[in-house]
Structure 1
Amino acid sequence: MDRPTLDAIVDGAPRGPGVYLMKDREGNILYVGKAKDIRNRLRSYAGGTDGRFMIPFLVGRLHNVEFIVTATEKEALLLENTLIKEHRPRYNVDFRDDKAYFHIRLDTRDPFPRYQLVRRPRKDGARYFGPFPSSTSARETLSFLHGLFPLRTCRDADFRGRRRPCLEFQIRRCSAPCTGLIEAAPYAALVKDSLAFLEGRERVLLADLRRRMEKAAEAFRFEEAALLRDRIGSIERVLEKQHVLSMTYRDRDVFGIHGEESLTQACVLYVRKGKVTGQRLFPPIRLALDREEILSAILKRYYDGETHIPPEILLPGDIPDREVVAEWLSERSGRRVTLSVPRRGEPRKLVEMAVRNAGNAVETARSTGSDPRAALELAMQKLGLKKIPERIECFDIASIGAEVAVGSKAAFTAGRAGHRRLRHDVRGSPAAPLRGQ
């Protein structure tokens, strides 16, 4: 688009908050933006005061600009987010992430609720805990919970139709409410304890469990006291492995961002009750945009799909629409949410940790992206090898008893998979398939 045409569009742009959609000659949306004053915002494109790397390319393909006026800047933010998700414009931050991270769901309205692993929380009145950084960590947590607080594992249809306890009851991972072996009141106590554990109130829970253990022992209910003792020991072992980073015991999300050339990586650390409980790496962004713009886009897209919004969010740098985003998050969570850029102390150390994790992800992505040799060099460093592994062989064995066993092998040479070297064998003992390879 030439300068006179762009100037004419700027002069005809509305004053006030809203959203603008930049389109090419075919009508495809190139970019969606929001502004407190649309005309002033577009003037930065025409006047060359917007120094972002993408601007010359965007203006060069621009043919028309469409405006949608809103009543407030917050409405513009919501509309911008909706339009970006719907149209996925070329010059907006591409935040496509097909991963739906696991949450643990517990519906306390059910008289005998169960833990469920779900990928997408819903506003259905149930309690959700997460997200977990991987399916493995989610399933390990679920397994630990069943051993600690043995709620039922079966689906509702099986629960209603069961006539005798299942194997989970035999190995003490279910309390068998389906057959009446536990009544509603003690089952509700298990649910209450599990909620306290998932909410991070372990110290309060331990004090209550110790009180109940002593009471059971005084009443000569030694089996019950032993179960409570084992439960206390399991929780204490978990607490020993957790490192407290904050003496304020606040819930926080801590963002870090790291960019090199046209590759930018963002990371969020989950801090719950003062402990780092996990992290999430966002998909790498391959647009030459300002970090402030990338961070703003990530916040809006990420929290648009999240049910849990902590009261405090720490950022590595300021964003231009921080007050509007904070107002929107406060409205979504039902309480005040603050966005802050810490300069010193423990909050700053948390931000630096998130930035380091983002930087490590960029290093790994560059090392393993297209050059197998670089990936092998990274493997050599991580594994402490003396030289680059020229050949890697991976084995897996599956067996049923001692009679049926299957072994498989995958081989990599010079960092590339050799599909002709995929094998599997069936032999009479679990060790035989390995000998056959």
Structure 2
Amino acid sequence: MIEDLSHVPNKPGVYQFFDKSKIIYIGKAKDLNKRVRSYFTPAIKDRKTEQIKKQAIKVETFATHSETEALILEQQLIKEYKPKFNILLRDDKTYPFIYFSDKHDFPQIQLKRSKQATNENFFGPYTNARLVRNQIKELQKVFKIRNCSNSTFSNRSRPCIEFQMKRCSAPCVKLISKSDYAEDILSAKRYLTSEKKHVKKMLKEKMHRHSEQLQFEEADRYKKRLESIISLEDETSINIHPLDIDIWHGSFEDKTGLAKISVRDGRVRSTKTYLINSDLSSEIDSVFRRALFHNYSNKNQIPSKILIANKILERELLQEALEKIYKTSVNVLIKAPKGSKSFLDLAKLNSKQTLINSENREPAMKQAFDELIQKFNLDITNPTLDCIDISHHSGTNPKAGIVRLSIKGLDKKLYRAYDIPKELGGNDIGSITFAINKRLEKKEENPSIILVDGGKAQLNAIVRLMKNRDVLVLAIEKGSKRKLLTESVYSMDGQESIKTNSKLFSLLTKARDEAHRFAIKANRIAKLKNVRNSFLDSISGLGPKTKQRLFERFKSINVILNATEYDLISVKGVSKVIAKEIIKLKKR
């Protein structure tokens, strides 16, 4: 626990809590000293704060000129380090977006699914794929953008039916120039960002300019685009209050549900929900701050108005930060504007429904564990299963991998990799016995079921360790020629009959495969570490800190070997003599 806070200034800025090896939490404050000290007062805190207080051994601060600067820096650092105690926003599904490919001279337009927009070529998200397809058709009618694949584009020798239907300008056979097509792409993007007035104004100006210059064919092209936009607007339903706004609402119980409703031209374009597995009603400003920065990845995604329907205290600070980051005008509202009530009700319904859905959703592996409990007549309510596998390379770098599964799925917090003593390398039974003994040292981590990748010999080795322990021991053995669905499962009663299409069989094979993957990964890491050490240890004068710097800079042995002398000596501790020795190794 941190005791000395005398170095923390009374200035706005960012604070970072560290455990022994990494950052565990990042926050921002108007007064760093007051905020950091608040974690260590005797008053009872929420569970997250108590855990931070318990685990933090060091705090570092970075002062800024203003609270806005602190907020921006906080978001950048959270994205960079992803500390475990910062809010983890989980998208509950993927969403359809309109996507413009950017790796082609004549970009295509298409529907693409993603959890969020990853760059400025994504537009959305939309409520469903049908809306995206309809919007793409609208854009094609107006701007004649291709939707074919790059391979189809490259192999065309004449225009396709999309050109005949006046939904494509046929760039594949050079019926439009690269510059004109690029202009159509830009106009389509502006159209999607609700700049329709700007687009219509631009089209009118270009139509008149080409007409004045007697370029009637070009003038007619812009006239048709303008008419298409006007025609599409006439087709849409009339709305007395044509809103362009994103509405956010949060519901708080044991968990936190957030919903965003995107309204464009008075119509719902999309909905998006997030579920956070804790009640954050005491951190509402922080919740929405991080939700907004998580959701809006670029300028094209952010609307001119954002309504946060819950009571927040830092509205002006949030607005200023959004404007600075995205370099656009944003109005953050806390009161619903005229005509938005029905959309606000929808946001409230969605945020509440997110919580209801999370309660009604059956845990991922519950059915499989129910089958296991019934099959073996177990008297347990919260079953946990550990699966163990051993990995080594001809007896070297032996590692044991143990993975944990529960009704909720893989519990990676309780995965463990153990170094097996060298004398046990290649001794499967001895390695399993050693690893299980290590696992059982912590009683609070003991499972109710142990599964081993192996046969009767491996099963018996573990059973001998389970005296006076109420633990079911199973073994899963690969079948003939290691074919899938030919595995045999053993218990102390002998071979068990388990249907290969059952949830239980799927659970056991999934656990076996995960333990196998985890053990192999641990073995490879150990092997790579040894290779690194043996390679670098052959160079005289190269100490452990400099070795670490080399791998931090170049990442791999191959890159180190192929680095130039100039690149090598740029690493602190690497002299010209050492650099030349490394280069000689490559030649040898």
TM-score (norm 1): 0.63
Distance 1:176 1:12, change over 3 A: closer
Distance 1:71 1:169, change over 3 A: same
In 2: Cα distance, 1:16 partner to 1:335 partner: 28
- Post-superposition shift, 1:40? 0.8
What percentage of residue pairs aligned between the two structures are identical? 28
Show the counterpart of 1:235: 232
- Does 1:292 find its partner at 2:289? no
In 2: Cα distance, 1:174 partner to 1:95 partner: 40
Show the counterpart of 2:8: 13
Q: Which amino acid aligns with 2:320?
A: E
Show the counterpart of 1:60: 54
Q: Which amino acid aligns with 2:14?
A: V
Q: Deviations over 1:378-403 (max 9, x none)?
A: xxxxxxxxxxxxxxxxxxxxxxxxxx
Superposition map of 1:300-339 within 5 A: 300-304=293-297, 307-339=300-332
Distance 1:371 1:176, change over 3 A: closer
In 2: Cα distance, 1:184 partner to 1:96 partner: 40
Contact kept in structure 2, 1:121 and 1:307, CA below 8 Å: no
Superposition map of 1:36-435 within 5 A: 36-48=30-42, 51-97=45-91, 99=94, 102-105=97-100, 114-117=108-111, 120=117, 122=119, 129-135=123-129, 137-146=131-140, 150-154=144-148, 162-170=156-164, 173-179=167-173, 198=192, 235=232, 238-240=235-237, 244=239, 246-247=241-242, 249=243, 251-261=244-254, 263-282=255-274, 284-289=275-280, 290=282, 291-304=284-297, 307-342=300-335, 346-347=339-340, 350-370=343-363, 419=501
Contact kept in structure 2, 1:103 and 1:129, CA below 8 Å: yes
RMSD value, Cα: 4.5
In 2: Cα distance, 1:185 partner to 1:306 partner: 24
In 2: Cα distance, 1:303 partner to 1:180 partner: 36
- Does 1:34 find its partner at 2:25? no
- Post-superposition shift, 1:101? 5.5
Distance 1:244 1:371, change over 3 A: farther
Q: Which amino acid aligns with 1:235?
A: L
- Post-superposition shift, 1:199? 5.2
Distance 1:152 1:370, change over 3 A: closer
Q: How many matched pairs?
A: 345
2:352 is paired with a residue whose SS is helix
In 2: Cα distance, 1:232 partner to 1:151 partner: 15
Q: Which amino acid aligns with 1:335?
A: T
1:39 is paired with a residue whose SS is helix
* Structure of higher RCO (CA pairs closer than 8 Å, 6+ residues apart): 1
- Post-superposition shift, 1:174? 3.1
- Post-superposition shift, 1:321? 3.5
- Structure 2, unmatched stretches of 5+, are 208-220, 367-499, 504-588
Contact kept in structure 1, 2:98 and 2:109, CA below 8 Å: no
- Post-superposition shift, 1:95? 2.0
Q: Which amino acid aligns with 1:47?
A: T
1:307 is paired with a residue whose SS is helix
Contact kept in structure 1, 2:299 and 2:327, CA below 8 Å: no
In 1: Cα distance, 2:184 partner to 2:352 partner: 42
Distance 1:191 1:53, change over 3 A: closer
- Post-superposition shift, 1:353? 2.6
- Post-superposition shift, 1:31? 1.6
Q: Which has the higher mean CA deviation after the structures are superposed, 26-35 or 186-195? A: 186-195
Show the counterpart of 2:519: none
Q: Which amino acid aligns with 2:347?
A: A
In 1: Cα distance, 2:43 partner to 2:165 partner: 69
In 2: Cα distance, 1:371 partner to 1:153 partner: 38
The structure richer in helix per residue is 2
Q: Deviations over 1:252-311 (max 9, x none)?
A: 1110111221x11111111223332111112x1012322333222212322345633212
Show the counterpart of 1:215: none
Larger Rg: 2
In 2: Cα distance, 1:275 partner to 1:238 partner: 13
1:13 is paired with a residue whose SS is coil
2:74 is paired with a residue whose SS is helix
- Post-superposition shift, 1:51? 4.8
Contact kept in structure 2, 1:106 and 1:128, CA below 8 Å: no
TM-score (norm 2): 0.49
Contact kept in structure 2, 1:148 and 1:231, CA below 8 Å: yes
Q: Which amino acid aligns with 1:287?
A: S
Contact kept in structure 2, 1:265 and 1:359, CA below 8 Å: yes
